[in-house]
């Protein structure tokens, strides 16, 4: 039973446009959410996070939105750059307990 | 560079064997986490240690064990290896219970 779902295995976006990656979760106990970026043969790199007491967090070109009632979060990247091409993982945790629960990832491809 | 180091980078072994993976956390981080990434299961949490003590267990098999030493480095021991244990193994560390920083991983191939 997947508690964190990323329903789009891949997404193609033109350079300079906005990339929107989506994530849904089912566990109401999750209260902290993170996005990681991963290149092949490397470990996941932390991008941005959001606590359940907020609905938006921004860091440079990256913004994460959280809709608790819909159990949905999204990562916006604007403007998209070629170096953003990678696999993006959504992850969640419940009050710091246990490890992170990850989605299966979305492969973002930025086209020139 | 996350500051988390893992050795070895690659490991090839045979079924039935035992291997040890090593992780050094970021300076000052007391928590160490181990994850397995396989093609069909994605990234799965295995186990967490905090300041030398086991804190949480995920989907870790009984054939697998871990420990964290006084200098805070951690080792993941995998025994009686099976073909299905072939995967990427990641270590992560954190200062608090929130953001985890991942190492580059160890790629294990069981033949």
How many whole angstroms separate alpha carbon B67 and alpha carbon B19?
14
CA distances from B18 to B42, B45, B74, B110 (A): 23, 20, 16, 10
Mutation test of the interface with chain B: which of A9, A44, A90, choosing the one with the most B Cβ atoms within 10 A? Answer: A44
How many whole angstroms separate alpha carbon A65 and alpha carbon A56?
5
Cβ atoms < 10 Å from Cβ of B50: 17
Positions of E strands within A6-71: 10-14, 19-25, 32-38, 45-51, 56-59, 62-67
pLDDT of amino acid A97 = 67
Contact B43 A89 (CB under 8 A): yes
Work out the pLDDT band at B21, boundaries 50, 70, 90.
Answer: very high
The first and second tokens of residue B14, run together, are 């045979």
Give the closest residue to B105 by CA, choosing from B17, B16, B22. Answer: B22
Work out the pLDDT band at B97, boundaries 50, 70, 90.
Answer: low
Interface check for A34 against chain B (CB to CB < 8 A): the answer is yes
The first and second tokens of residue B69, run together, are 């030493």
Give the closest residue to A15 by CA, choosing from A68, A85, A88, A66. Answer: A85
Interface check for A88 against chain B (CB to CB < 8 A): the answer is no
Mean pLDDT of B57-74: 95
| 8 A C-beta contact, residue A64 and residue A57 | yes
Cβ atoms < 10 Å from Cβ of B10: 10
Residue B82 to chain A, least CA–CA distance (Å) = 22
Give me the sheet containing B19-24, strands edge to edge: B5-7, B19-24, B74-78, B64-68
Q: For residue range A68-87, list pLDDT tens digits in order.
A: 999 999 999 999 999 999 99
From chain A, pick out residues whose CB is under 8 angstroms from the CB of B92: 43
* Nearest-by-Cβ selection for A102 from B43, B99, B104: B43
Provide the Cα torsion B45, B58, B100, A12; round to 10°: 30
From chain A, pick out residues whose CB is under 8 angstroms from the CB of B98: 32, 49, 93, 96
| 8 A C-beta contact, residue A66 and residue A97 | no
Contact B56 A42 (CB under 8 A): no
Task: pLDDT tens for chain A, 112 residues: list them.
Answer: 789 999 999 999 999 999 999 999 999 999 999 999 999 888 999 999 999 999 999 999 999 999 999 999 999 999 999 999 999 999 999 876 678 999 999 999 999 9
CB interface of B with A, residues 53-92, below 8 Å: 56-58, 90, 92
């Amino acid at each position: 039973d997947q508690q964190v779902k990323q329903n789009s295995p891949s997404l193609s976006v033109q350079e300079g446009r906005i990339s929107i990656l989506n994530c849904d979760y089912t566990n109401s106990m999750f209260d902290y959410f993170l996005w990681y970026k991963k290149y092949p043969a490397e470990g996941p790199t932390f991008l941005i996070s959001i606590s359940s007491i907020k609905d938006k967090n921004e860091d440079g070109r990256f913004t994460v939105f959280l809709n608790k009632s819909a159990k949905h979060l999204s990562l916006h990247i604007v403007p998209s750059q070629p170096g953003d091409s990678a696999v993006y993982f959504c992850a969640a945790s419940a009050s710091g307990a246990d490890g992170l629960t990850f989605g299966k990832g979305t492969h973002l491809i930025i086209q020139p | 560079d996350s500051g988390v180091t893992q050795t070895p980078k690659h490991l090839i072994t045979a079924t039935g064997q035992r291997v040890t993976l090593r992780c050094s956390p970021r300076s000052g981080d007391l928590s160490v986490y181990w994850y397995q990434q396989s093609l069909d299961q994605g990234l799965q949490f295995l186990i967490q240690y905090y300041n030398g003590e086991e804190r949480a267990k995920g989907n870790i098999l009984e054939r697998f064990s871990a420990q964290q030493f006084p200098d805070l480095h951690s080792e993941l021991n995998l025994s009686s290896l099976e073909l299905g244990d072939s995967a990427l193994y990641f270590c992560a560390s954190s200062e608090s219970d929130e953001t985890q920083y991942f190492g580059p991983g160890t790629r294990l191939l069981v033949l």
